[in-house]
Every structure is written in C-alpha cells, then in structure tokens.
C-alpha cells in the first residue's frame, strides 16, 4: 500500500479494532468510516427529532442536517439540483421505486431492456412489472467472460423500448458496463436509462450528467456509510411526471375523502419517516470520499486486483470468472474451484481470519450463463493491502490441503 494510504485502515472502527482481520467482502458491505459513525451518533444524541413540519429548535436542526445531507449526495453525483435526490432504504428500494413509479407510466407492449448480469434487485422487479402490466422484457446477453455483449444492442432495444436498466459493474465479475454505448443507443429510440451503481460508488464519486443517465441507484452501506439508507437520483422532469410509489405522511399536497394530491419530488417518493440519521451518516461518508485522491486509490485497487488474479491463475482446477485483466474490472474477483463448494471454501478461510462471500451473489441468471451454480468472491476496497492478498492466497493453499 502507498505510504499515503497506510493510515486509511485506522479510520474504520471495526478494522482498527481487529488488525488480524482480512476483510474482503466490501462488495456486500463496505466498512463504515469513522466520520459517518460519528455523524450518526452526533445526530442521535444532539438533534434526534423528526423532519418536516416541526416548529421547535430541535426539529429545525434535524431538518437542516437532513437537507444538507441531500445537498451532499447531489454534489457527490453531480446532480443538477438536490431535489433530484430521493432517499430510500437502499439500492433495492431505489430500483423497485423506478419499477413501480416509472413502470406505472408504461403500457402493455412497451419494452424494458435489462441484462443477464443484473443483481436480482434489478431483475425481479421488472419481471413483476411484466406480470402486472404486460410489458415486454428483453435481455442483453453476456460474453464468456461476463461482460455485456452489446453486438446486437439496436435490435434488442427496438423502437418500442422505453427503459434500459443495467448495472454499472457486475457484483460477480466486476466487469464494467459500456454506459456510453448504451446511452447513445437508448437516445436513438427515446428510451430512458437506469444505472445500478451499487458496486461503483465505493470506488469514487460519480457524475450522472457526464454518464448521461436518467436514473441512478446506490446504497449507503456500499460506500462507507450507514446501513438502511439508499439513494435514487432521477432527472427532475422525470420524477415530476411519475406517480408515487408509497402512500402516507410527507408525500401529499392535500388529502380529502374525495381526492389526494401529491407533493413535489423528492418528497413525493419519501412517504413516512425517512432514514434521517442514516442519510446524515451517508453524507459524512461522501464528504470524506470527496477529499480523497481517487487516481491514487484506483491505481492501488487495480494493483491489488492484478496481484490476486495472478495468484489465482496459478492454482490448479481454479476457474477465474470475469475479465482476466484487472484494468477491465472493478476490484471484484470471483472464482470456482472444481469439486469444492464456495461455502466450504469460505469456512476454511474464515478460520484464518479471511472474510469472503460464497454463493450465487443474488445473480443466478449470470452464474447460469457462466456455467456455475455458485462461486467464491473476494472484493477489494481502499483499506485493503498486499497482506490481505497474500493471506488469501495462502488460505486457498490451505483450502486445497484441507478439502481435496
């Protein structure tokens, strides 16, 4: 690890308290940064109150902090305005919000295009919409190394396509999506683009305007913030044209027995008490992230990813899933060892203080396309170092001695 990055691990309370732990499961949940945890505690101990319509000082302080959190997220994503930021309970809720609210503007015969590489949270809601409304659902296939195969994108899209919903990078292979190609093709037929950024946000601030997407979803716990909070970015004109997803307090204009009118976005999509403290914690994490040298961090993560791939390729009967080049993927590395179940592999590794994830990773269509039922996944973040990679490779040698 670069000397400038060596202190990062100490900024994460759990990692600082467990120096023996090799945490390689950040694609599932990244560790919370001290600034985010401090922000949550500060809010809960100094200004815990509900937001919206409180007229006493404590509630007004909570309002201000919540509004500032929305502004911070807008800066992190380079959104045009804070009102384009909707707080949800996580990326899954954000994706379901679009499937429900934008989905209610679609009709039978309209097409939604997704990919084989999607997490179930960007797959199942569209199947549910198909059952409910009769939309067409089409799939972008993947290549042998798990990248989206865009060779036949215009035909797949068709003139009736209304939305393309894809991952920014795979949570299994780490393969990056060619977002520019998808946005260009979508614009030719007037389709909107939804990007699932859950696996991209921990690797640096995003620019939704440069990406050219209409919707962007992510979770706070993936980018060093609190659990239980997520974000949906949506272009203001699209949010304004969408009906609400949930009904209740805070999302209305006026309620009578005869009729109800809706609040303007984003409040229209934030029924009930929002995740106040969690949003404030997320904002603190994003503020911290925006101070970092991401070129240096990307080089560090890519170097570790390359070191891991090189070591895995020397292990007999191990199949690497995804692109062979570290530069072609986020630092997410999944593999299959012939004859060994990922759960058994992870249990042996756990005995050596290595935290990895084994299973289908909520991406069964992708694993089926790659010809495996389950796999073992190591995911690298900015607080990892070469010692973590060496420990994993040594641990896999123990796996082979123990299980084969």
* Same domain for 283 and 297: no
Is 29 part of any domain? Answer: no
With H, G, I as helix, E, B as strand and everything else as coil, classify residue 94. Answer: helix
Q: Are residues 206 and 85 in the same domain?
A: yes
Owning domain of residue 330: 3-24+293-403
Domain C-terminal end among 273, 289, 305: 289
Whether residue 302 sits in one domain with residue 221? no
Over the range 381-401, which residues count as b (16 or more CB within 10 Å of their CB) and which as e? bbbbbeebbebbbebbeebbe
Please write the tens of the pLDDT for every residue from 248-267. 999 999 999 999 999 999 99
pLDDT at 2: 54
Write out 26-60 in H/E/C secondary structure: CCCCCCCCHHHHHHHHHHHHHCCCCCCCCCCHHHH
* Helix residue ranges per DSSP H, 178-293: 179-189, 208-211, 236-241, 276-289
Catalytic residue check, 161: no
Domain co-membership, 85 together with 16: no
Catalytic choice (223, 305, 346, 362) = 362
The structure tokens listed for 27 are 């694609």
User: How far apart are the C-alpha atoms of 307 and 318, rounded to whole Å?
Assistant: 16
Give the global pTM. 0.97
- Let me know whether 248 and 366 are in one domain: no
On the 0-12 / 13-18 / 19+ scale of CB atoms within 10 A, 55 is: exposed
Laid out side by side, the sheet with 332-337 consists of 318-321, 332-337, 375-379, 357-359
Q: Report yes or no on 279 lying in a domain.
A: yes
The continuous run of DSSP H or E covering 83 comes out as none
Regarding whether 344 and 279 lie in a shared domain, the answer is no
Instruction: Check residue 197 and give its pLDDT.
Output: 98
* Parts of the chain with a pLDDT under 70: 1-4
- Return the pLDDT at 228: 97
297 shares a domain with 188: no
The predicted structure's pLDDT at residue 330: 97
Q: Identify the residue whose tokens are 């609190």.
A: 226
Phi, psi for 99 (deg, rounded to 5): -60, -35
What are the structure tokens assigned to 192, written together? 């909107």
Task: Report which DSSP code applies to 101.
Answer: I
pLDDT score recorded for residue 185: 97
Among 236, 255, 289, the domain boundary falls at 289
Are residue 85 and residue 185 in the same domain, yes or no?
yes
- Look at residue 72 and tell me if it is in a domain: yes
In a domain, 31, yes or no: no
Whole-angstrom distance, CA of residue 153 vs CA of residue 32: 39
243: domain CATH number is 3.40.640.10
Give the chain's domain count: 2
Q: Are 155 and 245 part of one and the same domain?
A: yes
- Under 8 Å CB-to-CB from 75, ≥6 apart: which residues? 286, 290
Give every CB contact of residue 351 below 8 A, 6+ residues apart in sequence.
none
**How many angstroms separate the CA atoms of 383 and 142, rounded?**
31
Per-residue pLDDT at 4: 65
In a domain, 112, yes or no: yes
CATH of the domain at 339: 3.90.1150.10
Domain end, chosen from 266, 289, 312, is at 289
Within a domain: 225: yes
CB neighbour list of residue 312: distance below 8 Å, 6 or more residues apart:
318, 320, 333, 335, 393, 396
Tell me, yes or no, whether 50 and 8 share the same domain: no
CA pseudo-torsion sign 37, 279, 288, 295: positive
pLDDT confidence of residue 54: 87
Judge if 215 and 358 occupy the same domain: no
256 vs 63: CA distance, rounded Å:
27
First-to-last alpha carbon distance for the chain, in angstroms, is 33
Q: Assess whether 222 and 349 both reside in one domain.
A: no
Please tell me the predicted confidence (pLDDT) of residue 296. Answer: 97
Whether residue 324 is contained in a domain is answered as yes
- Residues 22 and 11: their CA atoms lie apart, in Å, by 16
Evaluate whether residue 30 is within a structural domain. no
């Amino acid at each position: 690890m670069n000397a400038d990055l060596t202190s990062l691990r100490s900024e994460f309370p759990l990692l600082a308290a467990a120096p023996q732990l090799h945490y390689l499961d950040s694609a599932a949940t990244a560790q919370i940064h001290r600034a985010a945890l401090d922000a949550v505690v500060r809010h809960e101990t100094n200004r815990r109150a509900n937001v919206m319509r409180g007229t006493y000082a404590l509630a007004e302080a909570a309002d201000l902090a919540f509004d500032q959190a929305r502004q911070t997220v807008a800066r992190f994503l380079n959104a045009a305005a804070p009102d384009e930021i909707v707080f949800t309970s996580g990326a899954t809720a954000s994706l379901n919000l679009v499937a429900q609210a934008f989905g209610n503007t679609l009709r039978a015969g309209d097409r939604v295009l997704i990919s084989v590489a999607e997490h179930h949270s960007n797959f199942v809601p569209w199947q549910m919409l198909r059952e409910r409304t009769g939309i067409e659902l089409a799939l972008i296939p993947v290549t042998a190394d798990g990248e989206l195969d865009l060779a036949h994108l215009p035909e797949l899209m068709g003139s009736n396509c209304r939305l393309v919903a894809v991952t920014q990078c795979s949570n299994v292979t780490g393969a990056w999506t060619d977002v520019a190609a998808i946005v260009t093709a979508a614009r030719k037929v007037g389709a909107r683009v939804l990007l699932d950024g859950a696996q991209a946000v921990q690797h640096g601030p995003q620019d939704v305007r440069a990406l050219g997407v209409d919707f962007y979803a992510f979770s706070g716990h993936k980018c060093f913030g609190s659990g239980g909070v997520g974000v949906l970015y949506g272009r203001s004109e699209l949010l304004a044209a969408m009906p609400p997803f949930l009904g209740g307090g805070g999302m209305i204009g006026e309620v009578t027995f005869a009729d109800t009118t809706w609040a303007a976005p984003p409040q229209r999509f934030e029924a009930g008490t929002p995740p106040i403290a969690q949003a404030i914690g997320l904002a603190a994490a994003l503020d911290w992230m925006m101070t970092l040298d991401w070129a240096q961090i990307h080089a560090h993560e890519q170097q570790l990813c390359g070191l891991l791939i090189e070591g895995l390729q020397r292990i007999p009967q191990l199949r690497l899933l995804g692109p062979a080049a570290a530069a072609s993927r986020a630092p997410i590395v999944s593999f299959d060892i012939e004859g060994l179940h990922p759960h058994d592999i992870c249990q042996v590794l756990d005995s050596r203080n290595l935290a990895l994830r084994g299973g289908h990773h909520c991406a069964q269509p992708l694993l089926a396309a790659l010809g495996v039922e389950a796999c073992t996944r190591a995911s690298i973040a900015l607080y990892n170092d070469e010692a973590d990679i060496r420990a994993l490779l040594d641990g896999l040698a123990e796996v082979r001695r123990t299980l084969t």
